Structure 1
Amino acid sequence: MRNLSEATAENVEYMIEEIKMKLRMASGAAMQASNFDIARYEDIKDIYDIIASKDKFSISEVEALVSEIGQLRK
């Protein structure tokens, strides 16, 4: 398992890729790790933790999570 306790660009990239995969985002190409500021690391990790803890999501949950992620972009 990856150590996500450090706020690094590599960890942001890893979490964003995992979020895209888990949510099966059709518009995943629009969500590049480079679009996120390392200063928002804890917020990104909070969303990652929520997504990592569940196997399935309702449509409304996906929409809410994608909206939250969108607000974290630069």
Structure 2
Amino acid sequence: MTNLDQQTQENVEFMIDVIKTKLKMASAAAMQASNFDLGKYEDIRDLYEVVASKEKFSISEVEALVSELGKLRIQ
């Protein structure tokens, strides 16, 4: 099991991969883990925990989560 208490690029990659998979993102290729800064680690983890805790998402939930994920990307 991954220890998400450690702020590492590997953990960011793990969380982004889980988010992309669970949200079945069509544009998953655009969401590379390398596009996220470790400085946003806690925000990424919060988003990951929301996504990981649910089995299904409505379209509006997916849109909101993807929007939040987009805000965390390096500009």
State whether TM-score is above 0.5: yes
> Which stretches of structure 1, 4 residues or more, deviate above 3 A after TM superposition?
none
Displacement after TM superposition at 1:4 (Å): 0.5
- Who is 1:3 aligned against? 3
Matches within 5 A, 1:1-74: 1-74=1-74
Structure 1: state its 5+ residue gaps: none
Count how many residue pairs are aligned between Structure 1 and Structure 2: 74
d(CA) in 2 for partners of 1:9 and 1:47? 16
* Deviations 1:1-55, CA, capped at 9 Å, x for gaps: 3210111000000000000000000000000000000000000000000000000
Question: TM-score, with normalisation over the residues of structure 1?
Answer: 0.98
Question: TM-score, with normalisation over the residues of structure 2?
Answer: 0.97
